[in-house]
Amino acid sequence: MGFRFYPFYTLNHWSEAGAAQPNELQEHISKTYFLLRAGLGGLAFFFPVLLLLFGHGLNIPLPTELSAYYWLSESHSALRQVPLRGLFVGVLWAIGCFLILYKGFSRAENRLLNIAGFAALIVAIFPMHSAHLVEYCLRPGTTPEKPENICGIDDFSDLHTPAAIALFICKLSLGRAARTP
């Protein structure tokens, strides 16, 4: 006799034997699918809102691009404590993984979801060029003739902008792709 795992909800929602009835299983799958979709949509919608609110609360100046929150901090300390970097990267990873794992209703939608998911991961992994943020990335006390960039290496930053553009184009195209078989 082997061990059988029964999740806690099976006792309350499913039959005495622990097996789901077809209509109960379908309802459970539908609810789970809806909650995953709502969670992904909420995460994508509230991502910029959270960055702006936390940035304002930490006295971080309003940047021209959301990607700038990767580098920005409230002070120009040599330690470069960047409080919103974790939020920025973490939410993009979550969105990227959601999009890759999410199965579309059509082949076109599925391809767009996968491209958008990988683009979100690339945006998270490879931050924007720190040269856009000269006033934040120079060590205090350095001169413009001999600047010292304290934001990091920009070797793969060229991937950031095309990936961000691909992510937004895929997001905009998903409504049409969902209707295409």
Tell me the pLDDT tens digit for each residue of 100-130: 998 888 888 899 999 999 999 999 888 876 6
Residues 6 or more apart whose CB falls under 8 angstroms from that of 92 comprise 47, 120, 121, 123, 124
More confidently predicted of 95 and 1: 95
Q: How far apart are CA 68 and CA 48, in angstroms?
A: 12
More confidently predicted of 55 and 80: 55
pLDDT of residue 16 exceeding 60: no
Residue 97 confidence (pLDDT): 94
Other Cβ atoms closer than 10 A to 75? 12
Nearest-CA neighbor of 51 among 84, 79, 5? 84
pLDDT of residue 66 exceeding 90: no
**Greatest mean pLDDT range, 14-18, 111-115, 153-157:** 111-115
Residue 173 confidence (pLDDT): 86
Residue 20 confidence (pLDDT): 64
Cα 20 to its chain centre, rounded Å, is: 34
pLDDT of residue 148 exceeding 90: no
Residue with tokens 């999740």, as numbered in its chain: 7
Residues 6 or more apart whose CB falls under 8 angstroms from that of 158 comprise 129
Six token digits for residue 85: 């970097």
Residue 93 confidence (pLDDT): 94
Query: Model confidence at 8, in pLDDT bands (50, 70, 90)?
Result: very low
